[in-house]
Amino acid sequence: MEEEEPQRAASAPPKQERIKQAKRKAGWLLAEVMRQNIPCLQRSSGTTIYQALSALRDGGWM
């Protein structure tokens, strides 16, 4: 068991990589939450704002 600890620690992503992944996930979640909180943005209206928010939802801004 003691031999497994160093292997797990060595295979864990570095702190900077975890921070980068967390920021990516937070950005995606924020865009989706904002979009879902405005009912008129949940349906297509053909407007620029709908297209922009759809692109945010699909990860186009990262």
Domain, as residue range, for 39: 17-62
Determine, yes or no, domain membership for 52. yes
Determine, yes or no, domain membership for 6. no
Determine, yes or no, domain membership for 1. no
Q: CA 52 → CA 5, 18, 25, 39, 47, distances in Å?
A: 46, 28, 19, 16, 9
Mean pLDDT of the chain: 73
Report pLDDT for 60: 62
Section 52-56 average pLDDT: 80
Determine, yes or no, domain membership for 9. no
pLDDT band at 8 (very low <50, low <70, confident <90, very high): low
Check pLDDT > 80 for residue 62: no
Report pLDDT for 44: 66
Total structural domains within the chain: 1
Query: Which residues does 1 contact at the CB level (< 8 Å), separation at least 6?
Result: none
Question: Do residues 53 and 45 make contact, with C-beta atoms less than 8 angstroms apart?
Answer: no
Q: What is the H or E stretch that residue 4 is in?
A: helix 4-11
Determine, yes or no, domain membership for 2. no
Determine, yes or no, domain membership for 46. yes
